[in-house]
Structure 1
Amino acid sequence: MKKLNLNFKQFLVIILVSFCFTSCVTKKDVVYFQNAKDFETMVDTDTFEAKLKIGDIVSVYISTLNPELAQPYNVMIQSGSGGSLVEYIIDVDGNIDFPVLGKVKLLGLTVEEAKELFKKKFKDGNLLKDPVVIIRILNYRVTITGAVNSPGVYEVPNGRVTILEALGMAGDLNINGKRDNVLVIRNQNGTKVYTRVDLTSKEIFNSPVFYLTQNDYIYVEPNNSAISSASGDRRLNTIMTITSFLLTTTLIFVTVN
């Protein structure tokens, strides 16, 4: 009987050691803004506005008191369900080819600056008086992948979104998301810029990627616990095999003795 107790203890030790390799998630790993103090205030002076980039798709609509005068500038595409405005793609030189006006350089401008540019061109050319210019960025979307609850591509209809709002649209990070090392990949007119942010620190509000721009890509890295879990299936099979072997051996030992 003494031999049986010794073997059973060894069996338990093997099982416990096998499971010790799995990492645990602590409160420190998942709480946001950990260094924010009670009643601390921070004045938001950010006047962020998205700037137009190469490859952006925009719609431009011109309105005047006399609709006939604006008609040449509002090119429509006819379809079975009606018509829609022509979409303009900003080319590699930063221009769109606009009716009557020709090449209009929009690269690096905000939507409001682009509106003012059109108004100036209409005024300087004595083409339209007091036109209303409506410009929309049609490809304002962000992609969120990795350890979030609902990864995917999300449209931003109002042209302004923070990384926190975007992650909220994706259902927030799941318990396995690494909150102190979130990667934002931004395309700056052909150049990829990689920025990592720490959601557990209040300094996230001062990050250059706190406000996202069109086509930003956010990747949430899984923590060690998730990686261990993902690779743990094979380890679990091994543990189960060892467990089965030890139980069988133990039963044989008991039967023989």
Structure 2
Amino acid sequence: MNVRSSLYLLGCLFTIGLTSCVSAGKIEYLQTHTKEGQTVYLQAQVQEGLIRFQADDVLSITVNMKNGGNVVSDYNLPLMPSATTYEVGDGSIDQGLGRQTYLVSKDGYINFPTVGLIKVAGYTQQELEAYLWERVTTNGLKGNPIITVRLTNFRITVLGEVNRPGEYSINRDHITIMEAIALAGDLTLSGKRNDVKIIRSFPDGKTQIVTLDLSRADVVSSPYYYLHQGDQIYVIPNSARKRSADIGASTGLIINLVSVLLGVVNTVVILTRI
């Protein structure tokens, strides 16, 4: 094995050694100081985790009622061709129909059929369903209508030391940070469990950055354990990962310089023996 190959091998082994020195305590989630078999009860702030609608949200709202007929249709947006296509038996494409959606205005309103402008910002899904039920029944819709509200643009972004970074669409009205991490394929061994950032933007233009320690069990009691629409999660690399990145960028240069120096020394030695 020549000098260059030997130096390169030593550099690789050194880099691997730096990245592999991660203790088990630094990669475990939800750690407690209880004995094995003991149960820990923690109160999650579920109410804080409920999605509250805000400006630029896109809502799907439908009003249904048994034997409602044309009366109920007055309280729904018209059907439009769906973006989803389906293969049918004869090989043709049936595009299907779907309800239009409501875009919440900058001041938090939607224009609801027959009723008019309704402020929806600040409501949870259940609260808005109850409020709309009250508005449509007092507006003249008789019977017991069923109001269904869905947030259609609930997305989160996971970045940094995870196995599948990216943007994820959520098809329900709440998600925890642990569930978001699972969607992204879990943290890598180089991700800092005790320093996970949540970046949250607000309609007034303000942005908040919060740090969560996922290695502690009491993280479930944090008001940020449940995510909001548009949240970004950033997992910071640990110090070993940072060092390996620095070493990786300079290892080749160092090896080349050392090889050149050894070559010069070797040449000088040979010349002195002549």
The CA deviation at 1:231 is 2.6
**Residues 36/50 of structure 1: CA separation in 2 closer, same or farther (3 Å cut):** farther
Out of 189, 203, 207, the position equivalent to 1:175 is 189
Map of 1:62 onto structure 2: 63
How much identity, in percent, do the aligned residues show? 28
Mapped pair 1:32 → 2:34 = no
**Residues 45/241 of structure 1: CA separation in 2 closer, same or farther (3 Å cut):** closer
Out of 86, 99, 103, the position equivalent to 1:89 is 103
CA distance in 2, matches of 1:162, 1:127: 38
Q: Which moved more, 1:42-51 or 1:19-28?
A: 19-28
What secondary structure sits across from 1:73 in the alignment?
coil
Per-residue CA deviation, residues 55-99 of structure 1 (Å, 9 max, x unaligned), is 111000000122221111222243271322111111122111111
Larger RCO (alpha carbons 8 Å, 6+ apart): 2
Give the TM-score taking structure 2 as reference length. Answer: 0.80
Out of 166, 186, 201, the position equivalent to 2:180 is 166
The CA deviation at 1:32 is 1.9
Mapped pair 1:231 → 2:246 = yes
CA distance in 1, matches of 2:268, 2:30: 57
Aligned alpha-carbon RMSD (Å) = 2.6
Mapped pair 1:213 → 2:228 = yes
**Residues 243/34 of structure 1: CA separation in 2 closer, same or farther (3 Å cut):** farther
Which one-letter code corresponds to 1:193 in the other structure? Q
Contact 1:182 1:198 in 2 (8 A): yes
Q: Which moved more, 1:168-177 or 1:220-229?
A: 220-229
Map of 2:74 onto structure 1: 72
CA distance in 1, matches of 2:80, 2:166: 31
CA distance in 1, matches of 2:41, 2:269: 70
Contact 2:192 2:235 in 1 (8 A): yes
Mapped pair 1:131 → 2:145 = yes
The CA deviation at 1:249 is 4.4
CA distance in 1, matches of 2:200, 2:118: 25
- Alignment coverage as a number of residue pairs: 244
What secondary structure sits across from 1:154 in the alignment?
strand
CA distance in 2, matches of 1:103, 1:239: 68
Alignment gaps of 5+ in structure 2:
82-93
Contact 1:198 1:204 in 2 (8 A): yes
Contact 1:69 1:128 in 2 (8 A): no
What secondary structure sits across from 2:237 in the alignment?
coil
Alignment gaps of 5+ in structure 1:
1-7
